[in-house]
Amino acid sequence: MKINLYESFLIFIRGILMGSADIIPGVSGGTIALITGIYEHLVHAISKIRFSFIKPLVKLDFSGFKDKLLDEIDFKFFIPLGLGIAVAMLTLANVVTYCMDVHTALTFSFFLGLIIASAYVLYKKISKVTFSHIVLTIIGFIAAYIFVSLNPIATNHTLPVLFISGLIAICAMILPGISGSFLLLLLGQYDYMLTALEELHWSEIIVFIVGAAIGILGFSKFLDYLLQHHEEATMAFLIGVMVGTLKIPAVNIITTIDPGILPILLCIIVAVIGIVLIVVMETKFDYIN
């Protein structure tokens, strides 16, 4: 397995960006994967994992195990990407919590800009807008708007609940436009898992990761099929989802912004910075097949 260190570094950076986005309610790591050119590769690489390498391992056929393992799992891709996501989640949890608590309006203005620009990026993936695309966008918008209007569920933080939360949230995290973090917020696990990351509660973290791993392996096969056979229709639906989720940052900005022209102007500037960041990222990162 030949390793290109420069390419691995760029994938690592993408992982950091994805991990940073997945911490933020309303922003999707799947969106960052799409913008930075690795989304389809990521989904297809995950969907290829079928665990057929276990059979030769049980038979003590180590050569067959190695061949199957390398054939199914793209280590050159997953290792730097996973390290980047892990580094971001472990190091930025405190930063995100601080910004959301102390500078709420400005933080959500930045998120607003990220989501608007991300929706535009998805729009560019559609070669020709049809009536069916418009209908799917409207459906996605309505579904997302209703979803983000739900109240958080009061629940406990036992290991089985964390396992199921990871199972469900990962399906949202891999979809552009759908925030796994917000889904965790609705499940009543967001603050708890942020604290677990900050304080390194390994039992909770590991159980959550196992649930997420099982969820993503199953969901990725369905998503890979949609991207292979109905890519533009899927993108149209996800655009609606993104626009629908704009309610999250909009409400947080309106309810926390200080009165006066200057705070409003600062929020607009920060939102524009978020838009520019996404546009620059899309132009600077190459597509990975």
Q: What is the pLDDT of residues 168-180, one digit of tens each?
A: 877 766 777 666 7
Number of domains in the chain: 1
Separation CA 148–CA 129 (nearest Å):
26
Q: What is the structure's pLDDT at 3? A: 64
In a domain, 184, yes or no: yes
In a domain, 14, yes or no: yes
Among residues 129, 152, 132, which one has the least CA distance to residue 140?
Answer: 132
pTM: 0.70
Sign of CA dihedral 98, 157, 28, 239: negative
Confidence of residue 135 (pLDDT cuts 50, 70, 90): very high
Q: What range defines the domain where residue 80 resides?
A: 5-284
Quick one: average pLDDT of 274-286?
76
In a domain, 115, yes or no: yes
HSE toward the beta carbon, residue 250, CA cutoff 13 A: 11
**Residues in contact with 107: Cβ distance below 8 Å, sequence separation at least 6, in sequence order:** 99, 100
Among residues 243, 137, 152, which one has the least CA distance to residue 190?
Answer: 152
Mutual angle of helices 159-173 and 202-229, in 10-degree steps: 30
Question: pLDDT tens digits for 85-100?
Answer: 888 888 877 787 788 7
In a domain, 183, yes or no: yes
Among residues 288, 270, 280, which one has the least CA distance to residue 34?
Answer: 288
**Residues in contact with 121: Cβ distance below 8 Å, sequence separation at least 6, in sequence order:** 31, 34, 35, 278, 282
In a domain, 289, yes or no: no
In a domain, 87, yes or no: yes
In a domain, 137, yes or no: yes
